[in-house]
Amino acid sequence: MQTKALNKQKEPLELFREKCRERGISITPQRVAIYSVLIGNQAHPSAETIYNRVKITFPDISIDTIYRTLSTFSNMGLVDEVEGYGEVKRYDPELKQHHHFRCKKCNKIVDFHEKSFDNLKIPKAIKEKFSVSNIKVVAEGLCDECL
């Protein structure tokens, strides 16, 4: 059982190392720590949350370094930026097709999968003007804790 848990952690880190090598980006301990916080957190953490966790190990790291690193990770395709809908931007390491539920009271964001949403028809007016590369649905309401 422990081997399966280790493999789940190894896969994203191997992807991280591979993408860094492809782009000629140094694999620093700080970048590994930032990415490790991301893959270990399903709550779609903000840069502040990541900063507070990483500074425990790297007390001299700056919030600017966190923001720049997250931007780099996003450009590399390692994370998706989840707009905060008026709140702070959050980050999602789950790259497989999925959608989000957002609680309008506590701002919790939860991943969910629904194949019918993956296959939504793009309106002709949009297809004529834009190139759609991904579809993400955001369902909003109150989570089980806020109900």
Note whether 61 and 51 are within 8 A (CB).
yes
Residues 50 and 116 in one domain: no
For the entire predicted model, the pTM comes to: 0.79
Residues 14 and 50 in one domain: yes
Residues 77 and 117 in one domain: no
Residues 48 and 108 in one domain: no
Residues 59 and 30 in one domain: yes
Confidence of residue 20 (pLDDT cuts 50, 70, 90): very high
Note whether 137 and 99 are within 8 A (CB).
yes
User: How many domains in the chain?
Assistant: 2
Q: Quick one: what percent of the chain has pLDDT higher than 90?
A: 66
- When the pLDDT of each residue in the chain is averaged and rounded to a whole number, the result is 89
Residues 45 and 12 in one domain: yes
Instruction: Show the domain range for 33.
Output: 2-92
Residues 27 and 55 in one domain: yes
Task: Give the tens place of pLDDT for each residue, 79-103.
Answer: 998 876 667 889 998 888 899 999 9
CA distance 131 to 128: 8
Residue 146 within a domain: no
Phi, psi at 109, each rounded to 5°: -120, 125
Note whether 126 and 120 are within 8 A (CB).
no
Residue 21 within a domain: yes
pLDDT at residue 74 is higher than 80 = yes
Residue 143, pLDDT score? 95
Mean pLDDT of 15-35: 95
